[in-house]
Structure formats: C-alpha cells, structure tokens
Structure 1
Amino acid sequence: MSSIDAAAVMRQAWQDVEAGRLQQALAAAQQVLQHDPQHADAHYMTGLLLQQAGHSDQALQHVDRAIAANPSVADYHFIAAEMRRAMKQYAGAAAAYRRAAELDPNLAEAHWGVGFCLEQLRQRDDAIAAFRRAIAVRPDFVAAHVNLGAALFESGRIDEAIECFQTALRHSPKQPLAQMNLAAAYQAKGDLASAADCLRRLVADQPGKAELHLRLARMLQEQGQLQESLAHYDAALAIDSRAALPVCERGVVLQKLNRLDEAEEAYRQALRMEPSLTVGWLNLGSILQGRQRIEEAISCYQKAARLDPDSWAPRYNLGTLWQHLGDLEQAMEAYRAAINLSAEPLAHSNFVLCLNYDPRQTPQSIRDEHVRWARRFAQPLAPACPPAPRDPNPDRPLRIGYVSGDFRHHVVSYFIEPILACHDRAAFEVYCYSNVREPDDVTRRLRTYATEWREIFTLSDAQAADLIRADGVDILVDLAGHTAFGRLLVFARKPAPIQAAYLGYQSTTGMDTVDYRLTDPHLDPPGGSDAFYTEKLIRLPHTFFAWQPPASDRDLPVSPPPVLACGHVTFGVFNNPLKVTAPIVRLWSQILQAVGGSRLMIVSGMPSADRRLMGMFQRHGIGPERIELIGRMPRVPYMHLYDRVDICLDTHPFAGHATTLDTLWMGAAIVTLAGQTFSSRLGVTTLTNAGLGELIAYTPEQYVHLAIQLARDRDRLAAMRQTLRQKLREAKFADIPAVTRAIEGAYRQMWRERCRS
C-alpha cells in the first residue's frame, strides 16, 4: 500500500471515529500498520481506540510508538501524558505534559496536567507555577483556577486560595468543586458564615445530594445555628438513611437544643444500626451522665473504650465522671490512660487540675506534672524570639490584657470585677479577652470596665495570640489556668512581652512563657514555696484578692446561732462537692462523734456521689440520720442556709474561698486546715486578713480540736455571729483601692524589670 493510500485510509478512519464506527476505524488503522509498522498516526489512533476499549497498557504502547515515529506532534505527547496520569504514573505523565507544552505553548491543558502531576508528587511550588501558566494561556480555564486554589490552600495561603475559587465561580457560577473548596477555605480562615453560604448555594443547586446537606448541617452546628442544622440533617436522612453516623450527629444537635428524649433516642437508633459506633456510645454516655444516670453512663463509656482501645475520649470521659463522683484514684487512672493515647492537651489539663484535689499529692509532684504538660504542649509553640516591649519607657501607661473564659456568672468574676472597676485609667489601659461561650448579664457589666473588649471564643489559639500581639498588650494576665475555657496555649505563643498568672488557678502553669504569678505571703510563705512554681512569685503585701459582698447579700440579716433554738450544733460544708475527700470525711466524722447530737449539712453532688459519700460516713460510724444533703439552689436561698448552721468545716486539700466569705458574711464560724499548697491555704489568707487567725488549724488533730471547742462554746458562737460581718468589712481584702494599687504596683514592677533587661 502506497503512502498516499495510507493517508486516504487514515482520513476515512478518522471519519469513522467521528461517526462512532470504532471497530471499522481500528481495523483500518491496523491495516495501515501491517503495511507501515512505523506509521505514527495509525499508532496514535490505535492507542486512542484501545484506551476507549479499556486496554490501557496496549494503548500506551501504541501512543509511545507514535511519539517514536514522530516526536514533534504535541497531541501525541499530551495523550501519552493523559494515559500515564490515569495509570497514576505521575512522573512520566508530568514529563509528557511538559513536552506537549513545549511543542504547543498555547495548549493550556498540558500546563494544567504538569501542575496536577507535580501536585501529586508533592512538588507544590512547581505545581503552582504550572497552574499559573495554564491560566495565563486561558484565563477562563476553570479547572486550573480550582487546582491552583487547592494547591495554595494546602500551602496555607488561604486568602490567595479564596481568590482563585472566586475567580473560578465567576467563570462558572455553579461549579461544585470550586464552591466546595471555597467553603473549606472560608472555614479554615474562621469565616464560618461565608463557608455556610457556599454550602447553601451547593445545596440549592443539588438538593438531592445527601452529602451536601450533611456538610451544611455540620457547619451550621459548629456555628450554633442549631434549628437550621437540624433541618439539613433531616433532609439528608430523608434522602439516605442508611448510615448511622448522621443519625448520631443529629442527636448531638437535639441534645444541644435540650430535646433530650429525642437526642437519647437518636443515639440509641444509631447504635441499633451500628453497634460498634464508638461515638454513639460516647454521646449516649454524655446524655445519660447529664441526666444523672451515672451507672448507665459508665457502662456506655466502658463499651466505647472496649470498641476502640486506641481512643482517648472514653477514658477522658470516664475520668471526668469518676472525678465528679469523688473517686480521685479511678479518675486519675482514667486520665493517665487518656494521656497515653492522645496528643490532645485537654486530657492532660484535666489530669493536672485533678492533682489539686488529691490529698496524696505533694507540692513537688504537682509542679512536676504541670511541667510535663508544658513541655509536651506549650514548649513547642514558644517563639524563638519573645516580643520586645513596644516602648521600653518604665513609667509610661501600660496596656494590661486579661484572658478568661469566666467573664460571666462565675466565682472568678466575683473577684476580678472589683479590680477591673478600680483600675487607674490614667496609668493602665484594660483589654479583656473573653473566651465566654454564652455571655450573660455579668459579661455585659464587665465590658463596661474595659478600655477594649475582645471576644476570642471562636478564635483559634494562634488567631487569639495574633490579635493580642496586634493590640500591643504590655502585660498579659491569665485568669483560668487549666480550668474549663482556659487558653494557656495562647500564652504558650508569648504574644505579650510580659505574661502573668493570677486568681483563677491554684498551681503553677509549668510554662516558661508565663513570667510571673501574683500571690500573697499567706498562700505562699516566703522561702518555702517558690521552688514549686515555674513563674517568679510576686507576693502582694497582704492579700491576693479583693472582695465586696454581692448586691443581693448586702441587706441579708444575720440570725442567732441555730444551736440556741434547736439544742444541737449543726455543722455545714457548702464547698464544691469535688473538694470532699476521704481523709477530710474521716476528720468530720471524728468531730461529729465528739459533739453529741450534732448534725452535718453538706452540698449534694450527683446521686451516685452522694451514695458514695454516705458510705464513707457510715464506715466511720456516722449514720445517715446525722447527715443532711442539700441540693443546689439560687443565691439568696443558699445564703439563708447559713441561718441553720453554727460552724462550717472547710475542705482539704482544696479549701473554699468564696464559700468561706459567704460563711463569714452570714455570721457563721469556719475552721480551715492549712496545708503546703496554694489551694490548701485559701482559708488561711482569708481568715488571716479578716483577723480570724484563731480559726486556722495546722494539723488534722488541731482541726478536729478547734471544731469541737467551738461547738462547745455557745457564748463564743453567739458573739462571733454578731461580729464576723464587721470583721469582713474591715478586712484587708475589703479595701479594694488598696488591693488594686498593690496589683498595679506589681505590674509596674514587672514592667520595670523587663525594661531593665
């Protein structure tokens, strides 16, 4: 067959391809190859047709032979690249795309192909350059804009990625991948509202896709738009109800909406569908725990732990549950298991917090564990070069930043409000960084004291640190430590030149980036306690806190000692039930045994915890008829409980603080047991600064003796009932201006030391 005949056959073969007569076209190409085995176009057509028939390896061999016969045709290289890309031979595909682009620089798809393959090979910078070349050739190349945006997103260049996705959507407004990626980019930036809008557009364009409804439902749940989230979960499950996980996630929304019966049933339905769904057991345990069905909750968490031996979450949940039941030994064992399985700081934070309640711990063991937490989670985030003062003038006005998740109805606000209200505005600007999830009337009142108020609950730790850095804060003060809603990993990033711990946490942070800690000589006696903190201690002259009675308490009357009317002494314990430990129950039992006919009122915890507590008393010979459990109640009725109490007994090793002040305000005496830790000496600083040092015991025996002696001296109880409120009014901590000036003096001392260094 002559070359002219081959050309004619190939022309006809291409016409057959266009007409869909593929077998005739393949036969013609093979006929040409029988007469001319090096015929490039015949190999090329054969390769294309074999590829369509699913014979990829043979197809690529023919295209490669076409290239060998005529290496100057860009289409041959491009199709070879496409085949290699489909076979995931990305290096070879990139080389072939690159050669096609060299032969035809205007072949935008070849530039795109280079970028795609280099992205798969993790050569991201070169991939980005290739996508940009494709766009330069064809500015409306939607796929190139989308892939460029994706590569920029993976490089952390979020704003550039958003611009790329937006450009793709301008050229193709309903392009689903661009819309999906734009939603992801907005979410990464923290702009959840814009992300949700993208997903809403996708759902509007494709209402029958369950996965899109699920994505939007999850996004809306994260934003707290629970009703709309629930509607999209319902829509997704109406389309496809086969998967258990969306049913379980729908339960989470119902739980947040306080539709607890429906939430519980959703979790149970998910577990009927998939009994091995670990998160289902976790969520069911959570709702049962909240409903005080403790034994069932424990069973759920234990099932989750068995199903997923590598998951930290069920161990963490068991830890929190055991802690609230007062079983510190089991709580700490569960937390340790969670810590060993997780790189999450939360489990380790709860563990170190738990140490403050544990009578087996020493100041050194508590410090050591906090340092371990800091080395694991905080130290890797510390900047190589800490920020320098923005103006190292030792006497200029200072910008103080307070960080707290407790700017709400919480005991920390009870103590920080007088300080915020009394700050010298000429010498100090007050910036408050609020990590409050649900602001309340206290939040709104505290805002009025701040020079600037920043909401950081929705910000990541890095974003919050950037905000603080941009605000030019001179001294950043942590008010939470390892408690709920604390933001220690903001402090780990050292956004301010000086950082300090104050008020809301009872131990060291363990962090090198927190420079100082405010305390007083009664909490941390000089010479003995400095070694137990990583921070430098600054002891305020008398007291570390300021206090004023809440408005609701100021006109409450003081009643006579109830023993005078009922004939028996009533002891009271109104501290957080988490602070009640086995050793202190033993001391309380000794007091009750020694004071005939006496009773004990104690704040109730969970029913299971109450049963455990009553069991501890019974083991010491104290029957249930002598113990009255008191449930939680509003402020004023709670304060009137003191009308029924003669003497309060402090907890140990975590003493009361606000409750001690409540006790004294209502005229009841309180006996505290001093220990070696900050948390065990809160009663010491309160009583000392109120001129009531005689109520402080320094040994367990003395604690028991003091309580017994008070109980036997009714005249003294009556006299104290009349004088304690005045003693509080005259206490060092009630002089709010003096305490505030002392704190400001400490800030100035920190600043001058930093300027000198």
Structure 2
Amino acid sequence: MIQSAEDITHTLHRAVQLHASGDLLEAEKQLRAILESDPLQVQANYYLGTVLLESLQALESLPYFNAALESDPQQAQHWLSYIAALIDAEHYEDAKLVLTYGRDAGLDGKSVDYLEQLLAQRQAESLQLAAKTEAMPAAHMQEKLIQLFLNKRYQVAEAALQPLLATYPKWLVGWKMLSDILLVQKKDARLAASHALALNQDDAQEHCYYGLVLKGQGDLVNAAATFKQAIELQPDYAAAYNNLGIVTKDMGDVAAAVAYYRKALAINPGYASCYSNLLFCLSHTDIVSADDLFIEHRKFGAQYEAVYKSAWPKHSHQADVAKRLHVGFVSADFREHSLANFFEPVLEHLSQVADIALHAYANNAIEDGVTQRLKAKFKYWNKVDDLTDAALAERVRADKIDILVDLDGHTAGNRLISFAMKPAPIQISWLGYLATTGLTAMDYYLADAHLLPPGQFDQQFTEKIVQLPANAPFTPSALSPAVGALPALSNDFITFGCFNRVEKITPSVIKLWSGLLNAVPNSKLLLGAMPKDGSYDGVINELASHAISADRLIIHHRSTMDNYLKLHNLVDICLDTFPSNGVTTTCHAAWMGVPTLCLEGQSLMSRGAMAVMLHLGLPEFVVKSHDDFINKGIDWAEHLQYLSEVRAALRKKFNDSALNQPQFISENLVLALRTMWVRWCKKQPTISFKIPD
C-alpha cells in the first residue's frame, strides 16, 4: 500500500503518463493503488473515472466521478465528466438532474450545451432502439469500440466487448471485432469467429474469414475444409481459392496449391498477391525447370509493368555523387521473422553511416520487440500497411528516396506493385526471396559468389547481380544452448534431421532421403518443424511408400526457439530440401554443430544451403548428384569420429567465417550502394558487379 504523500504524487504522475500513452490497464492499476491508501484523493478518483469511461466501463466510472465532484465541485471538468459518464451509462434522468444542479452552480458554456444536446439525442436513440429490439449496442458504443481498436488499445477493447456480447449474443459485428482483436494480440480467436460464422452460415466470406482464423491457429486441415465450404457457396470466390492454396502449400501438397492459385488467377487475373503466392509455390517445386520458372516470373513483371511503365516518372534527383543518400527498405517482416537474423546485424552498422539516411516502410500491422529494436535504427519509420500500392509509391517519391530496397520478393505481404511504379531511381531486391522479382523496374539483386557465381545465372534474373563478400551475416539466437556430443556415439543409430518447412519436402526429396535411410540400417529421420497433427500426413504417407516405417521417424511440431534449437542435440546430420533449400535453418543447425548435406543446385533457390556450407569451409557436405548424396550420407554414417570432430569445431568455424562479419558486409554494402548511385549520376547503364572488386 502507498504510504506517503510523496509516493501518492509520484504514482499519480505515473498514472497520468500511462493514461496519456494509452496504457489504460496499467493506469487503472496505479490509480486503484492510490485510492486504497486515500479513498478521497480527488485527482485519483477523477482520473480513474476517466480511465474507466474510456475503457467503455461507464457504469463502473460513476462512483469515482461522483467522489471527485463532491470533493471539489469548483472544477467544471468534474461536473462535465460525471454528466458524460451518466449519459454513456444510460442514466439519463440522473444526467438531467446533475445538469440542472450544475447550471444552478454556475456551470455554463459550449461544453454544457453540447452535453444537453447529447443527452436529448441519446434518449431519442434509446427509445428508437427499444422499439426496434435491435440485437446490438447503440451506435455510439460501436464507434467507441472501433476507436479503441484503431488506437491499438486491444486489451481494453477486448475487456469492453465481453460484457456487451453477453448482452447481445447475436451481434455479428461484435463477434468479428472480438475475433480481430484476439488475432492482433496473437490469442486464440476460434471461439469468437465460430460465433460469427454461426450467425452467418450462408455467407461465403464468413466461411473464408473463419478459415483464416483457423489457419492463424495452425489448424490447417479444418482451415482447408472451411475454404472449400466457402467455394461451394461461391464458386467464383478467388480469395477462397488463394487461401486454400496457402494452407494446402503449408501442408506440403505444393502441386495442389499451384492448381488452386491458378484457379484464383483464372477468376481474377489482376490478383497480384495471389500471383506472388503462385510464384513462391512454383519455386518450391520441381515441376518446372529453372528456365520455366524465370518465364513465369517475367509474365508477372510484364503483366503489371504494362499498366505502370508508361507512367514511370523521370526522376529529378540531384546528380551529386557525394550527396547523402536516402535509402529506403520495404518489408512486411520488420518483426519476429527469419529476416531479422540476417538484416538486423547489417542495419546495426548501416545506421551509423553518416552519409546515408535510412527510411523504413513497414508493411505489417503487428509490431513486437524485434520491431522496436529495428525501428530505433532507422532515421525515418513509415508504417504503410494501410496504404495502397499507388499511395506507397507516392510516399516514396515524396520522401525523395534515392535507392529503394525490397526485402520480400514474392513472399507474403510484399509491395512489388509499388516497385513496378518505379518510385525511386534505383531499386534493389535483397534477402527475402531467392529468385528474381521478374520486374524490369528492379535494377539490382544482391547475392554473393557462392550463391550466384559471376555470369552463371544472370539469365535467370531481370535484375543485374551485385556480389557482396557474403549475401548477409547471420545472428545466432541468444537462446542457443551449448553444442552437445554427437548423438550417434551413444545411440545405436545415426539420426538424420530436417527443420525446413513441410512444403519444401517434395516427393523428389522424400524419394532421395528414403534411398539414404534404406541404405543406412537403423538410421532415423527427425522432422523438427511439422505443423499440427494431420497437416503433414502426405509426407508420412509418401515416406511409407518408400518403405520408411513410422518407427524410424521422430516427429516434432513447430515450437519455441529454445526448444527448436535444443532438438539439434538429437541430430547428427541435417538433410537439405530441394529445389528450395533451407538457409535460416542451415545457419541455425551449423551454429548448433550440425552440418547440412546438400545438393549443388542450378538456381538461386537451390543454392542457399550450399552457400552456407562453403562459407563455413565444408565443401565435403556439398554434392552434385542424387547418387553422390546417398553415397556421402553412407560415408558420414561410417565415419562418426570425424563427424564428431566437425561438430565440435563448427561453431568456431561459424565465428571465423564471413557469416559473422556484419561490419565488413555492411561496409561493402555501402560501397555497392555508392557504386550504383555514381553510375546513375553519370547516366551509365546498370551492370552486374562485385564488391570488393
């Protein structure tokens, strides 16, 4: 309990600050602590009433406003707030009475006139609502809830909705609002969304919304069934086909997902995000060649650039080779995401470069601790998830960005259509997507010599290739445990492992892995990133078709970072996927002492793991053919002592490699940006080049 007057003053000041910042729950907690010590403290009573009123708890606010008014009736605001609370609590006669008392006490002015008009309006609305017997709260309550949501006061809005929905259980908008609020807070929204669906069973969009909620909770099987129900209700529902493609891909059936995406695009050819989903999915399959995959990406670029290319602005930026560069980064993944492992260490050093001003264009409504860390490193932070593609392009132009960097490619939440409008004179794609964007508006693609050896893969890109010493550094997790001993030395079997997403485990991958498992008696396979039960049955069945029984599989679902990293102490060697490699997973595994056996691919998407192994000085884990893959796996299984030595030395190798030199990579990135800018200033064409040359 707060004791001294000084403590009360300090706590009150803190509560007022919390209230001003929007943290109503903590402000309420601090104010109640004051009133436990001094129930008549005027300001604490007034501010607690205010906090409760803003939290849509008008009835609960009344005794606190009343206490403040009785203690200090000379404060006009005490009268006004109490009357406003009585109106919101629907105590209309009491409000009328207090208004009369206030007038008698000298209360006057526009605020009083407004409250009188509001009282009359609310009384009239109340009579109309009673006559209609509406199954929803009054309009002003709904408006206040919407404002709470827009102001990101999610916990307050959630608490306010609960009693309202108990009173109005058939309020469809309320259930959907509650579901949205829970989703934003990463809470389980299934119950709220199911109530909404029950009230609107015949609506295809309602089924699609419920499917998205199920997907968000990882219930992919039921999400897919719900999207199919939406399609049954509305066969030309392109969004439902797109969402069905997403969950089908997440369950590992990439070929079926491709078909769903194509169906959505047949219905709506201009569905850009679905087109990106299709390209992303195709890059994970072996049903198209590298050449055909490039053609598919060029079709995307041609389709959307045909709309905007004629309107590309003639950039009037000052051609000053030494000027301070304004560099913008666009991403939906400035949050807890694998991108941060590679981008944040570069940003740390880039933010300290005096002749570069960093602008972020964050395309995600949700912010977390990683967002806050990244935000602190940018000079300018722009939240753009609510901007149209044209509005984002206009914002970039208005900010006079010299170089605009795409960090997403064709992954979810990308803003490639804005890039197609060419809002900056120089545009670059980097990190988020291991393939071309397909846009001629994108000038450069950043990589390194292991990923894209000079001249060998240029024909797969619309962009010119710029090679850094390493594509990016990698920051291991602070939760990483110590590297354990090689498990096979104490087990009577060797454990192969994979932590890549299930959609990367194609039938061709399973066939190759099965060949290795069948060639190494008693070996087991640990799959460490499986979605919820039932969502990966296709992988299990495919393995069974190649004589890999369930007792040879060790299944772990997606989990927390610390649990995920601990699993590496159960694995002797990781097996890579193709044509889409694991990159983040390969780096995490290497840090945990587990090398990855991988194929040398013929596209950037299939060279990520190989590049990591080569940076670590482990070419013996890179093979050129499927036969070599099996033979090399057998050989490692027969040389466990050597494999144990590799494991023990791998973390040091990582520390000594280019992957652990963020300052060096950042310095070379700055050189690359400056080289691009000098060429633009001199009106020279874009070319592929290497830094340092």
Question: Normalization by structure 1: what TM-score?
Answer: 0.67
Contact 1:474/1:496 (<8 A) preserved: yes
- Alignment partner for residue 566 of structure 1, among 491, 507, 512? 491
- Alignment partner for residue 248 of structure 2, among 309, 315, 322? 322
- Measured after TM superposition, the shift of residue 615 of structure 1 is 0.8
Give runs of aligned pairs for residues 58-457 of structure 1, distance below 5 A: 206=125, 208=128, 216=143, 228=157, 246=173, 249=176, 252-253=179-180, 256=183, 258=187, 260=189, 262-271=191-200, 275-291=201-217, 293-342=219-268, 343-382=270-309, 384-423=311-350, 425-457=353-385
Superimposed CA distance per residue, residues 407-453 of structure 1 (whole angstroms, 9 cap, x where no aligned partner): 11111111011111112512322222222322222111122322222
Contact 1:382/1:492 (<8 A) preserved: yes
- Which amino acid is 2:366 matched to? E
Q: Percent identity?
A: 29
Alpha carbons of structure 1 residues 681 and 450: separation in structure 2 relative to 1, 3 Å = same
Alpha carbons of structure 1 residues 225 and 391: separation in structure 2 relative to 1, 3 Å = same
- Measured after TM superposition, the shift of residue 650 of structure 1 is 1.0
Secondary structure of 2:360's aligned partner: strand
* Structure 1: runs of 5+ lacking an equivalent: 1-199
Contact 2:176/2:192 (<8 A) preserved: no
- Which amino acid is 2:348 matched to? A
Report whether the alignment pairs 1:732 with 2:661: no
Distance 2:659 2:165 in 1: 58
Match of residue 495 from structure 1: 423
Distance 1:491 1:531 in 2: 21
Secondary structure of 2:328's aligned partner: strand
- Measured after TM superposition, the shift of residue 307 of structure 1 is 1.9
- Measured after TM superposition, the shift of residue 456 of structure 1 is 1.9
Distance 1:717 1:202 in 2: 82
Report whether the alignment pairs 1:607 with 2:545: no
Match of residue 512 from structure 1: 440
- Measured after TM superposition, the shift of residue 372 of structure 1 is 2.1
Alpha carbons of structure 1 residues 354 and 560: separation in structure 2 relative to 1, 3 Å = same
Match of residue 702 from structure 1: 628
- Measured after TM superposition, the shift of residue 376 of structure 1 is 2.9
Contact 2:284/2:580 (<8 A) preserved: yes
Superimposed CA distance per residue, residues 684-729 of structure 1 (whole angstroms, 9 cap, x where no aligned partner): 2111111111211111111121111111101211111221112111
Larger radius of gyration: 1
Contact 1:214/1:233 (<8 A) preserved: no
Give runs of aligned pairs for residues 589-628 of structure 1, distance below 5 A: 589-603=514-528, 604-628=530-554
Secondary structure of 1:602's aligned partner: strand
Contact 2:598/2:622 (<8 A) preserved: yes
Match of residue 459 from structure 1: 387
- Which structure has more relative contact order (CA 8 Å, sep 6+)? It is 2
Secondary structure of 1:499's aligned partner: strand
- Which amino acid is 2:387 matched to? L
Secondary structure of 2:288's aligned partner: coil
Alpha carbons of structure 1 residues 429 and 573: separation in structure 2 relative to 1, 3 Å = same
Alpha carbons of structure 1 residues 337 and 594: separation in structure 2 relative to 1, 3 Å = same
- Measured after TM superposition, the shift of residue 505 of structure 1 is 1.1
Contact 2:180/2:189 (<8 A) preserved: no
- Measured after TM superposition, the shift of residue 395 of structure 1 is 2.8
- Which amino acid is 1:337 matched to? K
Match of residue 413 from structure 2: 485
Contact 2:220/2:251 (<8 A) preserved: no
The structure with the greater share of residues assigned to helix is 1
Alpha carbons of structure 1 residues 598 and 304: separation in structure 2 relative to 1, 3 Å = same
Superimposed CA distance per residue, residues 639-660 of structure 1 (whole angstroms, 9 cap, x where no aligned partner): 2211111111111111111211
- Measured after TM superposition, the shift of residue 585 of structure 1 is 1.0
Secondary structure of 2:535's aligned partner: helix
- Which amino acid is 1:359 matched to? D
Secondary structure of 2:311's aligned partner: coil
RMSD across aligned positions (CA): 3.0
Match of residue 582 from structure 1: 507
Report whether the alignment pairs 1:676 with 2:605: no
- Measured after TM superposition, the shift of residue 224 of structure 1 is 5.5
Superimposed CA distance per residue, residues 503-539 of structure 1 (whole angstroms, 9 cap, x where no aligned partner): 1111111112211111122222222311111111112
Alpha carbons of structure 1 residues 230 and 723: separation in structure 2 relative to 1, 3 Å = closer
Distance 1:251 1:490 in 2: 32
Distance 1:219 1:350 in 2: 33
- Measured after TM superposition, the shift of residue 457 of structure 1 is 2.4
Give runs of aligned pairs for residues 27-66 of structure 1, distance below 5 A: none
* Structure 2: runs of 5+ lacking an equivalent: 1-117, 684-693
Distance 1:512 1:726 in 2: 42
- Measured after TM superposition, the shift of residue 299 of structure 1 is 3.0
Report whether the alignment pairs 1:533 with 2:458: no
Alpha carbons of structure 1 residues 513 and 315: separation in structure 2 relative to 1, 3 Å = same
Distance 2:287 2:518 in 1: 25
Alpha carbons of structure 1 residues 737 and 309: separation in structure 2 relative to 1, 3 Å = same
Alpha carbons of structure 1 residues 229 and 596: separation in structure 2 relative to 1, 3 Å = closer
- Measured after TM superposition, the shift of residue 581 of structure 1 is 1.1
- Which amino acid is 1:267 matched to? A
Contact 1:585/1:616 (<8 A) preserved: yes
- Measured after TM superposition, the shift of residue 231 of structure 1 is 6.7
Distance 2:164 2:271 in 1: 34
- Measured after TM superposition, the shift of residue 623 of structure 1 is 0.7
Alpha carbons of structure 1 residues 447 and 288: separation in structure 2 relative to 1, 3 Å = closer
Contact 2:437/2:462 (<8 A) preserved: yes
Distance 1:431 1:354 in 2: 30
Secondary structure of 1:500's aligned partner: strand
Distance 2:207 2:474 in 1: 45
- Which amino acid is 1:368 matched to? I
Distance 2:307 2:163 in 1: 43
Range with greater deviation from structure 2 (331-340 or 217-226): 217-226
Contact 2:280/2:410 (<8 A) preserved: yes
Range with greater deviation from structure 2 (520-529 or 315-324): 520-529
Contact 1:656/1:682 (<8 A) preserved: yes
Secondary structure of 1:330's aligned partner: helix
- Measured after TM superposition, the shift of residue 333 of structure 1 is 0.5
Secondary structure of 1:719's aligned partner: helix
Secondary structure of 2:551's aligned partner: helix
Distance 2:120 2:596 in 1: 64
Distance 2:437 2:141 in 1: 40
Contact 2:179/2:193 (<8 A) preserved: no
Give runs of aligned pairs for residues 541-560 of structure 1, distance below 5 A: 542-553=469-480, 556-560=481-485
- Measured after TM superposition, the shift of residue 230 of structure 1 is 9.8
- Which amino acid is 2:198 matched to? Q
Range with greater deviation from structure 2 (516-525 or 371-380): 371-380
Secondary structure of 1:607's aligned partner: coil
Superimposed CA distance per residue, residues 2-36 of structure 1 (whole angstroms, 9 cap, x where no aligned partner): xxxxxxxxxxxxxxxxxxxxxxxxxxxxxxxxxxx
Secondary structure of 1:566's aligned partner: coil
Distance 1:236 1:420 in 2: 46
Distance 2:408 2:330 in 1: 8
- Measured after TM superposition, the shift of residue 218 of structure 1 is 6.9
